[in-house]
Amino acid sequence: MPNELDSIGPICLIIPPSVFLLDERVFMTLGVLRVAACLEEAGYTVEMLDLSGIENYLAAVEAQALATSARTFGFTATTPQMPAALQIAQRLRALRPDARLILGGPHVTLVNAAVKRERARQFSGRAQAAFDRLQSAYDVLVAGDGEAAVFQALPRHAPKLVDGDDPSSPLFLNNQKLNALPFPARHLVDASSYHYTIDGVPALSLIAQLGCPFECGFCGGRESPMLRRVRMRTAQNVIDEMLTMHFDHKINGFMLYDDELNVNPGMVELMNAIADAQSHLGVQWHLRGFVKAQLFTDAQAEAMVRAGFRWILTGFESGDPRILRNINKRSTRDENTRCVEIARRHGLKVKALMSIGHPGETEESVRETHRWLLEAQPDDFDVSIITTYPGTPYYDRATPHPERSGVWVYSYPATGDRLYSYEVDYTEVADYYKGKPGGGYKSYVFTDGLTADQLVTLRDFVERDVRQKCRIPFNPAKPPQRFEHTMGQFGLPEHILRVSTANRSFREPAEVRSYAP
| 405: Cβ contacts below 8 Å, ≥ 6 apart | none
Is 428 exposed, middle or buried (CB count within 10 Å of its CB: 0-12, 13-18, 19+)? Answer: exposed
Per the structure, the count of domains in the chain is 2
**357 is in which domain, residue-wise?**
196-470
Residues 82 and 152 in one domain: yes
CATH number of residue 171's parent domain: 3.40.50.280
CB atoms within 10 A of CB 202: 17
- 132 is a domain residue: yes
Kindly state the DSSP code that residue 346 receives in the 8-state scheme.
Answer: T
Residues 228 and 316 in one domain: yes
What's the distance, CA 325 to chain centroid? 25
Residues 146 and 281 in one domain: no
- 499 is a domain residue: no
pLDDT value of position 315: 94
What is the distance between the alpha carbons of residues 444 and 421, in angstroms, rounded to a whole number? 6
**Amino acid identity at 181:** L
Residues 225 and 132 in one domain: no
Residues 51 and 174 in one domain: yes
pLDDT value of position 515: 53
**Cα dist. 186→18, 25, 204 in Å?**
19, 14, 10
pLDDT value of position 41: 96
pLDDT value of position 121: 81
pLDDT value of position 509: 47
Pairing state between β 201-206 and 197-198: antiparallel
- Rounded to a whole number of angstroms, the distance between the first and last alpha carbons of the chain is 38
What is the distance between the alpha carbons of residues 372 and 337, in angstroms, rounded to a whole number? 8
**Cα dist. 49→35, 95, 280, 434 in Å?**
14, 16, 37, 25
pLDDT value of position 214: 86
Kindly state the DSSP code that residue 261 receives in the 8-state scheme.
Answer: G
Residues 115 and 74 in one domain: yes
Q: Shortest CA distance to 57 belongs to which of 11, 82, 36, 88?
A: 88
What is the distance between the alpha carbons of residues 243 and 360, in angstroms, rounded to a whole number? 47
Residues 362 and 317 in one domain: yes
What's the distance, CA 446 to chain centroid? 25
pLDDT value of position 495: 84
The CA angle 8-11-16, to the nearest 5 degrees, is 145
What's the distance, CA 192 to chain centroid? 21
Domain boundary (182, 216, 251) is at: 182
- 300 is a domain residue: yes
Q: Is the C-alpha dihedral spanning 484, 486, 489, 490 positive or negative?
A: positive
pLDDT value of position 517: 44
HSE (CB half, 13 Å, CA atoms) of 362?
10
HSE (CB half, 13 Å, CA atoms) of 413?
4
As averages over each run of 10 residues, the pLDDT of the chain (517 residues) reads: 68 91 84 97 96 92 94 94 96 95 96 90 82 96 97 95 95 96 96 92 95 86 86 96 96 94 95 97 96 96 97 96 94 96 98 96 98 97 91 91 95 96 86 53 93 96 96 73 46 85 49 48
Cβ–Cβ under 8 Å, residues 127 and 111: yes
HSE (CB half, 13 Å, CA atoms) of 306?
18
**Cα dist. 117→122, 123, 194, 290, 300 in Å?**
9, 9, 38, 29, 37
- 494 is a domain residue: no
Residues 236 and 156 in one domain: no
Question: What 3-state DSSP class applies to 343?
Answer: helix
Cβ–Cβ under 8 Å, residues 359 and 410: yes
How many angstroms separate the most distant Cα atoms in the chain?
Answer: 68
Domain boundary (150, 182, 214) is at: 182
What is the distance between the alpha carbons of residues 386 and 366, in angstroms, rounded to a whole number? 13
Pairing state between β 407-411 and 399-400: antiparallel
